[in-house]
Structure 1
Amino acid sequence: MSPIVLMSTPMTSVSALAPASPVVTAAGTSASAFPWLTLIGAIPLLGALLLFALPGRAQVGRALALGFSLLAFVVSVVAATRFDPGSTAQFQLGERLEWIPQFGVSYSLGVDGMGIAMIVMSTIIVPVCVLAGWHDVPEGGRRRNVYFAWMLLLEAMIIGVFASTDVFLFYVFFEAMLVPVYFLIGSYGGPQRHAAATKFLLVSLAGGLVMLAAVIGVYVLGPGGPDGFLVERLTGLSFDPLVERLLFVGFFLAFAIKAPMWPVHTWLPQAASQATPATSTLLVGILDKVGTFGMIRFCLQMFPEASRWATPVVIVLALVSIVFGAAVAIGQDDMLRLIAYTSISHFGFIVLGIFAFTHVAGAGSVLYMVNHGFSTAAMFLMAGMLAQRRGSVRISDYGGWQRVTPVLAGCFLVTGLATLSLPGMGSFVSEFLVMLGTFQRYPWAAAVSSLGIILAAIYILLWYQRVMTGPKPEGLERVPDLTGREKWVMAPLIAAFLVLGFYPAPVLDVINPSVSSTLQHAGVTEPRPTNPAPAGAMNGSAK
């Protein structure tokens, strides 16, 4: 095991910060002349409020939801074109207004490469979920309008999480996300939806309350003042080692629950199996990324010494998540629970890359979050399309469906291959980077994680075999193949992980600077190669 080499991290200078004013830019944040981030979040928020206000007889709710979500996507793309990967600012597109100056709370937004990537990914997946959930509420009327309103409200909260540069504001959005998810599961899910929604809410709230105590502790022990919750001011501070470790645990526990990691994962399989496929997609494809996003943004940057201290335990937990999730997925008969357990395994890879403390693994983890969002969305929605036709999510109720629905079977196969990280798919690039970067510092951990790749091939291929191959099923001659709407649902997702599989460079170019900045704040250097090149090899003199 290569030791982690410490670097001296610059201390935050309180006197260097400008005095507070109604609109001001914090040190380390590049101000934006236009409030792009606020606009991206305000569009779905406005759409949600409009849907809540629609009369029950109105039948245009889902069309409005699709329109607002597509508009948010367009604005996010425009905002992404204004993001400069070569900028030296810690955050760009910055906005800040005083909110509760007596307690150091401000409405402060900004994004780095990781943040803008997560926002664009979210705005792609939400309209896909709206289109996929077109018939989730067959009774129509107000109940349908409210269903899509909760989706848009969840999108607004998620944008706020990924854009917040004030720790308290982040916490507000972090907890506010629970409300729409609770109602999406509890009001529109399966027969055990109330139990699943309640368990999700209570477990998430427990982790959130622990994090709230840590958030308050950071402010009290930090520089304080009207800007006392800004990430820039809390990065590089020096805490007592014991205090820093306690604060780290407070944040990490909440993020591990959200991610989810073993052993605080138990809420996910039940929630995913009881929610509608569109809700499960939002839950696992986007919302769970908040956990790993928070580990990078807050744990590594604000508590570097504690992050290094906790690394051995976190790596072991990540490896257990990888192997446990994949092994349990093999034995599942419920398609939605199977996908949930595969996600536990995939999140293990993401966490492993984060705490490997190498640039390659870190970039792979962030790219993995993007790729996993698309591939998992496709898996959940494919399972929903099958269940809509067969009336069951049990794998044992299927067989021979490629003879009845060949286009659906083809999309299912491509999505499955992306999930098991076949070369040419986006997940392969990110998984390879995670393992390569992990091997640079922890070869034994990279070796153990390879079991997850083997098990992934087993559960995906067995799933396809049991559902799609075999004799043509009787009585299903009139089962329709993918409709035009369903093809529009699958097309952007499949295109995403194919494009990222063959040409991930544009996304990596955006991600890399933020990964380098995080490692610098974490106080680590790249491990030296174990087999250095011979002298003169770089100038071509080696034979």
Structure 2
Amino acid sequence: MEKVPLLSLILWLPVVGMVFVLLTPKEQVRLIRFWAHLFTGAVLILSFGLWFGFGPELHGMMQFEERYDWVPILGIRYHLGVDGLSMPLVVLTALLTFLSIVYSPTAIHYREKEYYALFLLLETGMIGVFVALDFVLFYVFWEVSLVPMYFLIGIWGGPKREYAAIKFFLYTLVGSVAMLLAILVLYFHAGTFDMVELIEKKPLAKASATLQALVWLGFYLAFAIKVPVFPFHTWLPDAHVEAPTAGSVILAGILLKMGTYGLVRVNLPLLPEASDVFWSMMGILALVNIIYGSLVAMGQDDLKKLIAYSSIGHMGFVMLGIAAAAKDGGAFADAALRSAKVTALNGATWTMIAHGLMTGAMFLLVGVIYERVHHRDLNRFGGLWAQMPVYGSIFSFFAMAELGLPGLAGFWGEFFSVLGSFRVYQWAGFAVIGIVITAAYFLWTVQRMFLGELREEYRNLPDMNLQEHISLWPLVVLTFLVGVYPPILLRVIQPAMEHIVELMSRAWLL
């Protein structure tokens, strides 16, 4: 019996759902919502098939592969596959998209047909980035994910939505052009767009150091803008603040990870020599992200902007681990240093997943309170725990996870990143400054929102409703589960990280 093309089903079902939504009259809002729930739910269920059918013992090899000629004359293929790096991100994308759709009827009350159609298209774009193993396919999905988010911010966002949407689009587009040029250089040197083949061949290995550096920087610019790495970060707070709640969830939970995913998938194994040249730059900018992002977050009175800047800090820990893995091929003579690089990459990938769970939940929680009081000013809150005990408890739970409390998902990513990075370059230890600042501003946020005397204007606020419970509790359970039993994720992630380190070490030993 021919195997089911599971990745293609997961990838294209949202587009089928988008067609159903577009064919439904705009007046039939309940049916439009039903299609959106049905197809994103189906994608989530199918993604569980990836999780339970995945074989970690295959040591980082691509699984569920599909390979067909697409444009044979140019060597362009429809090539899909997942490993321990991409598979958890596909599942995370399916989960957060479904939960965002569950939450959306609470906040979106106009032009719903266009909203749900764009959200479904966005899901295909994001999943496509994580499963594509041909650079042309990868680039197409990279661009596809940009357009729906532009409209989601520009139509359903806040008062400055047009400015935020254009800024997001232009920043990302600049990076996309740089990446396209880098892809073309690789193609002219190897005659193929296949990512797996290019990583094996390393066609630029004998090219000049200058050319390798330029290609590396082309990819880096695209990915760093998406992360975002300082100084490309200025689009993020604007986009987050103006985006609708579900848009912020996807922006923080998934779109930022496309940048760090690209660095681990492309820059490290494909251009290890150039990665070694730029490792210190990445390490320094990672620390800037961690400390600067945390300090600026601490100075915010807008709850949504605070969480946006916290994302800059958290993504710094991902970059910290990536920088450690990029450093000095000669160090691979030392098995302990090689293990440290694997640990650092484990931390980077873990933080991608944990940040998606935690920050996705935090933006949903911002939406919950905003729909009730219609502001996000932390100075105007106080004593909410007495009136909204469930909301206060869940918010405090995720605040503890965000600040890295042991036993919750956020702890392990930071722990592995700092542990592995410190063994490679000791000044990575300065990252603990960011951890302390993060703890300070999240505890202060909980104090300002939930402790003290309840203000008179909030005495009739209702606690969370059923839709809000459904959208948040899966994230509560997963944040706790992977926090208390890390092997759930590590058994999937580690073989892929070992494989990437091995690919880099082979190139350095040539």
Asked whether the two chains share a fold, i.e. TM above 0.5, the reply is yes
Residue 41 of structure 2 is aligned to residue 70 of structure 1:
yes
> What is the match of residue 9 of structure 2?
39
Q: Aligned match of 2:301 in 333, 346, 371?
A: 333
> What is the match of residue 193 of structure 2?
229
Residue 99 of structure 2 is aligned to residue 128 of structure 1:
yes
Deviation, 1:525, is 11
Is the 1:399–1:466 Cα contact (8 Å) retained in structure 2? yes
Describe the SS at the equivalent of 1:521.
helix
- What pairs up with 1:40-189 in 2 under 5 angstroms? 40-59=10-29, 60-88=31-59, 90-139=61-110, 143-189=111-157
Q: Aligned match of 1:317 in 267, 272, 285?
A: 285
Q: Aligned match of 1:510 in 464, 467, 492?
A: 492
CA distance in 2 between partners of 1:443 and 1:179 (Å): 41
Is the 1:374–1:493 Cα contact (8 Å) retained in structure 2? yes
Equivalent position amino acid for 1:214 in 2: A
> Could you list the per-position Cα deviations for residues 387-434 of structure 1 after superposition, in whole angstroms to 9, with x for gaps in the alignment?
111110111221111111111000110010011010110110111111
Describe the SS at the equivalent of 1:43.
helix
Describe the SS at the equivalent of 2:228.
coil
Deviation, 1:147, is 0.8
CA distance in 2 between partners of 1:508 and 1:34 (Å): 27
Deviation, 1:506, is 2.2
Describe the SS at the equivalent of 1:332.
coil
Describe the SS at the equivalent of 2:80.
strand
Deviation, 1:500, is 0.6
Residue 300 of structure 2 is aligned to residue 300 of structure 1:
no
Unaligned runs of 5+ in 1: 1-31, 527-543
Equivalent position amino acid for 1:302 in 2: L
Given the superposition, is the C-alpha separation of residues 186 and 423 from structure 1 closer, same or farther in structure 2, using an over 3 Å criterion? Answer: same
Of the structure 1 ranges 319-328 and 81-90, higher mean CA displacement relative to structure 2 is found in 81-90
CA distance in 2 between partners of 1:131 and 1:187 (Å): 20
Describe the SS at the equivalent of 1:47.
helix
Describe the SS at the equivalent of 1:113.
coil
Q: Aligned match of 1:439 in 414, 422, 437?
A: 422
Of the structure 1 ranges 328-337 and 395-404, higher mean CA displacement relative to structure 2 is found in 395-404
> What is the match of residue 11 of structure 1?
none
Deviation, 1:312, is 0.6
The percent identity for this pair of structures is 37
- Which of structures 1 and 2 has the bigger CA Rg? 1
Q: Aligned match of 2:343 in 356, 360, 365?
A: 360
Q: Aligned match of 1:421 in 381, 396, 404?
A: 404
Deviation, 1:61, is 1.4
> What is the match of residue 451 of structure 1?
433
CA distance in 2 between partners of 1:88 and 1:339 (Å): 36
Of the structure 1 ranges 416-425 and 76-85, higher mean CA displacement relative to structure 2 is found in 76-85
Describe the SS at the equivalent of 2:406.
coil
Is the 1:94–1:108 Cα contact (8 Å) retained in structure 2? yes
Describe the SS at the equivalent of 1:265.
coil
- Number of matched residues? 487
Describe the SS at the equivalent of 1:486.
helix
Is the 1:98–1:107 Cα contact (8 Å) retained in structure 2? yes
Residue 241 of structure 2 is aligned to residue 270 of structure 1:
no
Describe the SS at the equivalent of 1:463.
helix
CA distance in 1 between partners of 2:24 and 2:241 (Å): 30
CA distance in 2 between partners of 1:508 and 1:443 (Å): 24
Is the 1:97–1:107 Cα contact (8 Å) retained in structure 2? yes
Deviation, 1:158, is 0.8
Residue 210 of structure 2 is aligned to residue 242 of structure 1:
yes
Describe the SS at the equivalent of 2:64.
strand
Deviation, 1:458, is 0.9
Q: Aligned match of 1:207 in 168, 175, 182?
A: 175
> What is the match of residue 331 of structure 2?
none
CA distance in 1 between partners of 2:436 and 2:251 (Å): 26
Equivalent position amino acid for 1:33 in 2: K
Of the structure 1 ranges 264-273 and 91-100, higher mean CA displacement relative to structure 2 is found in 91-100
Is the 1:519–1:525 Cα contact (8 Å) retained in structure 2? no
Unaligned runs of 5+ in 2: 326-340
CA distance in 2 between partners of 1:347 and 1:522 (Å): 23
Is the 2:272–2:507 Cα contact (8 Å) retained in structure 1? no
Deviation, 1:380, is 0.5
Describe the SS at the equivalent of 1:34.
coil
Describe the SS at the equivalent of 1:355.
helix
Equivalent position amino acid for 2:195 in 1: V
Deviation, 1:289, is 0.3
Deviation, 1:100, is 1.4
Equivalent position amino acid for 1:507 in 2: L
CA distance in 2 between partners of 1:283 and 1:150 (Å): 14
What TM-score results when the alignment is normalised by the length of structure 2?
Answer: 0.93
Is the 1:40–1:75 Cα contact (8 Å) retained in structure 2? yes
Residue 414 of structure 2 is aligned to residue 471 of structure 1:
no
Describe the SS at the equivalent of 1:356.
helix
Is the 1:336–1:383 Cα contact (8 Å) retained in structure 2? yes
Describe the SS at the equivalent of 1:471.
coil
> What is the match of residue 252 of structure 1?
220
Deviation, 1:524, is 7.7
Is the 1:423–1:429 Cα contact (8 Å) retained in structure 2? yes
Describe the SS at the equivalent of 2:105.
coil
Equivalent position amino acid for 2:163 in 1: A
> What is the match of residue 469 of structure 2?
487
Deviation, 1:273, is 0.1
Given the superposition, is the C-alpha separation of residues 366 and 524 from structure 1 closer, same or farther in structure 2, using an over 3 Å criterion? Answer: farther
> Could you list the per-position Cα deviations for residues 342-395 of structure 1 after superposition, in whole angstroms to 9, with x for gaps in the alignment?
000011100111121201111111111110000001111111111111110111
Is the 2:60–2:498 Cα contact (8 Å) retained in structure 1? no
CA distance in 2 between partners of 1:464 and 1:89 (Å): 41
Describe the SS at the equivalent of 2:70.
strand
Given the superposition, is the C-alpha separation of residues 88 and 362 from structure 1 closer, same or farther in structure 2, using an over 3 Å criterion? Answer: closer
Describe the SS at the equivalent of 1:235.
helix
Describe the SS at the equivalent of 1:96.
strand
> Could you list the per-position Cα deviations for residues 295-318 of structure 1 after superposition, in whole angstroms to 9, with x for gaps in the alignment?
000000110100111001110011
- What pairs up with 1:187-198 in 2 under 5 angstroms? 187-198=155-166
